[in-house]
């Protein structure tokens, strides 16, 4: 792995850590036991700081170090974290993200703009810490430690800590830099002496550049306690053999440390002599009585027998070490894959499906049993490959939902409202492409609900509502689609006000009767707004039309229900994937059409009264559309009779009258050109095994068209009258 690749991984992982850090900060308000969340926030900041030091990004290290100091005090219980500190730390996350974005753009050092942006935050952090920021708000990088800065101690070893660090071979592959730990220790004290142990280095031709062969022995002069020193190594637990001897340790403790590392005992002993921890005579005696090192469990038994450490502590330490190794083993099974490679794989699988369909057709025409069996098995394998490839692109929508925790937190403060966000269905999966493109429409819907939907605390109290408003995000699967709802318990939409505004703008006629859903759908018209004043969030007459356009571009639909005084729910329906689906082929006058299989309820023989556009389906009225009439096909229906494909979408059913049912077909979705963008009831196309193009029918539009047509028909009115009279 070269440095550029490592830097890209650092940038990606830093962004993930910042997202986790932000999520944990936002979750603090709703959590009673904050210990684990605070530890998680601290670990994120500590990891970013350490990894930044690996790439000599001193401006990132310096700023994150101050954040880490604040979090350390919070973690130690000496500093209480409240709303103001959470808001400050969230702004710090934003600044660190900006610094990381700058690194991606090639900015590896602090500039005037980033320094000015970070200065107010540093002042707030130093005010919390009770310390002073560097003059001018400059970001001062941490001092580095090398051989030219080592200061051999002349005083007694009883004044210094002795730290033994023997790093594991996989430390570098984990993204950790051993020198970053030394740099960190230099910030909590003065390094009196340090010894690099390169004895594990193999011959040059057998050396692995990604493996770590270094160990260090250090004498540290600091007022920090042992726990503070150990915290520097909490991210490499299980991958570093760490021994810390406090000041005033017994000579036997130093000798035991020497004896545990027989291969380097003499060099460690020399460092202890230089620092005054041992005399020359004590070192010679220790070397002469040198013994083999003992395993961890054996050493634990010795400590228990000597009553130095309780048995429960040893068992807990061994169990923790086992858990760390299990986590590392699990992480080693994960592989990062570039999104472009996944897209290329999906495209190749699509071409494979088309080629497989062609082979199946040839085999069927040849009527060779062995060939048909082979192609049938090949089709099954291709289908499994398709499912596996699509599964690789499926991601949980929870990451998108989590972004709104911060939005609700910040916007509610700006609006002076108390709003709680409730998230359900965050484990619901859908295509990565859909997730990326749905974020902005959802963002606008959330902000619109907070600004227009949820009332102020005074109005809510006057209406007998809880002062805290509630905004709910939910996602679930339904009939081969994913449904996302944005629901608030605000004042709801004012039907008459919307209708009056629409009449004023000439969108509808004054005497035209409209259903509630049709009236509410008017707010998605371009430039439509009933806001009394313009705010930073809305009221400019832009946005909701863009929301609808973006969702429609994803082959989705958006609808709205509302009850004045109680709240509003916006429902977004999207396909699970934009690439490959299971389809069902039908034929009308030699023309083939594809229907998404997940939206088909059943297929029945055509039965209906003459000139009726509905049929009786087991006692229920089923409206239908004739594809022959929809596309203006002049050929007469077949003599043998037609069929009805029963479609279902959003809880509604409609029929589709076709000539022939051709069966299931793996459908590779090909988008139509721009000149076909305005064509209704068609969502795309696919290539058949014969090489012909089949149009993919837009089921949501067909169901809506059929149901609306049925509601407006005189026959429907007559049936209602008959039902009332009976």
pLDDT tens per residue across span 625-641: 999 999 888 888 888 88
Chain segment 276-309, per-residue pLDDT in tens:
666 766 666 666 554 333 444 444 454 444 444 4
Phi-psi region of 626 (alpha: psi -120 to 50; beta: other; left: phi over 0): beta
pLDDT at 280: 65
Rounded distance between C-alpha atoms, residue 98 and residue 115, angstroms: 12
| Helices and strands per DSSP (H, E), number in the chain | 23, 21
What predicted TM-score, i.e. pTM, was given to this entire model? 0.61
The helix/strand/coil state of 681 is coil
* For the ranges 182-186, 314-318, 360-364, 601-605, the one whose mean pLDDT is highest: 601-605
Chain centroid to CA 716:
48
Among 325, 161, 330, smallest CA distance to 239 is for: 325
Q: List the structure tokens of 605.
A: 């023989």
Cβ neighbours of residue 643 closer than 8 Å, sequence gap 6 or more: 586, 603, 604, 605, 606, 657, 658, 659, 660, 661
Of 119, 90, 48, nearest in space to 111 by CA: 119
d(CA 178, CA 238): 14
- Find the mean pLDDT for residues 368-389: 90
Between CA 658 and CA 412 the distance in angstroms is 53
pLDDT(576) > 50: yes
Helices 398-415 + 83-104 axis angle, to 10: 130
Spatial distance between the Cα atoms of 510 and 557, rounded to a whole number of angstroms: 28
Q: Which residue has the higher pLDDT, 673 or 348?
A: 348
Catalogue the E-assigned strands of 146-221: 161-167, 190-197, 215-221
Q: What is the pLDDT of residues 123-155, one digit of tens each?
A: 999 888 887 655 444 444 343 333 333 333 333
Is-contact 389 579, C-beta < 8 A? no
* pLDDT tens-digit readout, 612-624: 888 999 888 999 9
Distance CA 359, CA 381 (A): 14
| Kind and range of the H or E run holding 379 | helix 369-392
Round to whole Å and give the CA distance between 559 and 573.
Answer: 9
Residue 228, SS3 per DSSP: helix
Query: Among 86-90, 117-121, 219-223, 374-378, which is the least confidently predicted range?
Result: 219-223
Q: CA nearest 393: which of 429, 352, 348?
A: 429
CA 132 and chain centroid, separation: 37
How does pLDDT run across 217-245, given as a tens digit for each residue? 888 888 888 888 887 787 777 778 888 88
CA distance 702 to 705: 5
By the 10 Å C-beta count (0-12 exposed, 13-18 middle, 19+ buried), 568 is classed as buried
Is 70 exceeded by the pLDDT of residue 200? no
Most confident region among 123-137, 312-326, 396-410 by mean pLDDT:
396-410
Strands of the 469-478 sheet, one edge to the other: 419-423, 469-478, 481-488, 567-575, 557-563
Reported as type and span, the H/E element at residue 670 is none
The one-character DSSP state at 32 is S
Enumerate long-range contacts of 5-10, CB under 8 Å, 24 or more apart: 6/55, 6/175, 7/55, 7/103, 9/175, 9/336, 10/51, 10/52, 10/54, 10/55, 10/175
pLDDT at 693 exceeding the cut of 60: yes
Q: Are 73 and 79 in contact (CB under 8 A)?
A: yes
Sheet of strand 161-167: strand arrangement: 190-197, 215-221, 161-167, 240-245
| Number of neighbours of residue 701 by Cβ within 10 angstroms | 15
Q: Which helix (H) or strand (E) holds 244?
A: strand 240-245
The percent helix, strand, coil of the chain (3-state, each to 5) is 50, 20, 30
Name the β-bridge partners of 220: 161, 191
Computed over every residue of the chain, the mean pLDDT equals 79
pLDDT category of residue 530 using cuts at 50, 70 and 90: low
**Mean pLDDT on 106-112:** 86
- Cβ contact 114:49 at 8 Å: no
Residue 99 CB contacts under 8 Å (≥ 6 apart), including other chains:
57, 59, 60, 63, 114
SS (H, E, C) 404-451: HHHHHHHHHHHHCCCEEEEECCCCCEEEHHHHHHHHHHHHHHHHHHHH
Domains of the chain: 3-137 (1.20.120.160), 147-293 (3.30.70.260), 339-393 (1.10.287), 395-575 (3.30.565.10), 580-725 (2.30.30.40)
Beta bridge partners of 416: none
């Amino acid at each position: 792995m070269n440095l550029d690749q490592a830097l890209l991984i650092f940038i990606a992982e830093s962004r993930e850590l910042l997202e986790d850090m932000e999520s944990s900060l936002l979750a603090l308000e709703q959590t009673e036991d904050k210990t684990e969340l605070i530890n998680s926030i601290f670990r994120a900041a500590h990891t970013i700081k350490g990894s930044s030091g690996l790439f000599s990004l001193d401006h990132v290290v310096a700023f994150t170090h101050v954040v880490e100091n604040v979090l350390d005090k919070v973690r130690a219980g000496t500093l209480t974290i409240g709303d103001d500190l959470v808001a400050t730390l969230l702004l710090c996350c934003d600044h660190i993200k900006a610094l990381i974005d700058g690194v991606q753009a090639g900015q590896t050092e602090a500039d005037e703009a980033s320094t000015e942006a970070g200065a107010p935050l540093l002042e707030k952090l130093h005010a919390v810490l009770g310390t002073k920021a560097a003059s001018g708000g400059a970001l001062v990088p941490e001092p580095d430690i090398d051989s030219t800065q080592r200061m051999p101690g002349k005083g007694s070893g009883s004044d210094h800590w002795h730290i033994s660090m023997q790093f594991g071979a996989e430390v570098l592959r984990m993204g950790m830099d051993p020198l970053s730990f030394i740099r960190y220790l230099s910030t909590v004290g003065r390094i009196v002496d340090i010894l690099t142990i390169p004895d594990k280095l193999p011959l040059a031709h057998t050396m692995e550049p990604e493996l770590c062969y270094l160990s260090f022995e250090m004498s540290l002069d600091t007022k920090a306690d042992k726990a503070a020193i150990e915290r520097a190594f909490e991210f490499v637990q299980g991958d570093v053999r760490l021994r810390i001897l406090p000041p005033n340790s017994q000579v036997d403790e130093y000798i035991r440390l020497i004896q545990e590392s027989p291969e380097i005992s003499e060099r460690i002993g020399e460092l202890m002599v230089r620092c005054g921890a041992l005399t020359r005579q004590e070192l010679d005696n220790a070397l002469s009585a040198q013994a083999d090192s003992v395993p961890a469990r054996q050493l634990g038994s010795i400590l228990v027998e000597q009553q130095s450490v309780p048995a429960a502590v040893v068992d807990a330490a061994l169990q923790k070490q086992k858990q760390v190794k299990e986590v590392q083993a699990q992480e080693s099974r994960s592989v990062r894959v570039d999104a472009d490679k996944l897209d290329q794989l999906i495209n190749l699988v699509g071409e494979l499906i088309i080629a497989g369909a062609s082979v199946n057709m040839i085999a069927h025409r040849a009527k060779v049993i062995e060939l048909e069996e082979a192609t049938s098995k090949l089709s099954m394998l291709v289908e499994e490959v398709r499912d596996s490839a699509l599964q690789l692109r499926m991601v949980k929508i929870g990451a998108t939902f989590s972004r709104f925790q911060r939005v609700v937190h910040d916007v509610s403060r700006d609006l002076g409202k108390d709003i709680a966000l409730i998230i359900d269905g965050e484990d619901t999966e859908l295509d990565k492409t859909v997730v990326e493109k749905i974020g902005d429409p959802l963002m606008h819907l959330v902000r619109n609900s907070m600004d227009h939907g949820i009332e102020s605390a005074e109005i809510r109290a006057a209406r007998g509502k809880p002062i805290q408003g509630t905004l709910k995000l939910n996602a679930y699967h339904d009939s081969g689609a994913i449904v996302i709802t944005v629901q608030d318990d605000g004042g709801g939409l004012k039907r008459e006000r919307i209708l009056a505004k629409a009449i004023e703008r000439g969108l509808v006629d004054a005497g035209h009767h409209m259903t509630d859903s049709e009236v509410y759908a008017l707010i998605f018209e371009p430039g439509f707004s009933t806001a009394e004043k313009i705010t930073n969030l809305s009221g400019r007459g832009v946005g909701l039309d863009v929301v609808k356009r973006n969702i429609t571009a994803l082959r989705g639909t958006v609808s709205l229900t509302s009850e004045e005084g109680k709240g509003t729910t916006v429902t977004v329906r999207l396909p699970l994937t934009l690439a490959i689906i299971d389809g069902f082929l039908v034929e009308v006058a030699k023309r083939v059409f594809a229907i998404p299989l997940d939206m088909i309820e059943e297929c029945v023989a055509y039965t209906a009264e003459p000139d009726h556009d509905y049929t009786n389906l087991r006692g229920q009225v089923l409206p239908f559309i004739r594809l022959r009439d929809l596309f203006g096909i002049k050929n007469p229906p077949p003599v043998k009779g037609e069929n009805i494909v029963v479609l279902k979408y959003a809880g509604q059913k409609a029929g589709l009258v076709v000539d022939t049912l051709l069966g299931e077909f793996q459908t590779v979705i090909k988008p139509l050109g721009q000149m076909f963008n305005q064509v209704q009831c068609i969502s795309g196309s696919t290539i058949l095994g014969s090489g012909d193009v089949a149009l993919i029918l837009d089921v949501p539009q067909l169901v809506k068209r059929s149901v609306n047509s049925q509601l407006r028909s005189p026959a429907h009115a007559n049936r209602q009258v008959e039902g009332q009279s009976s």
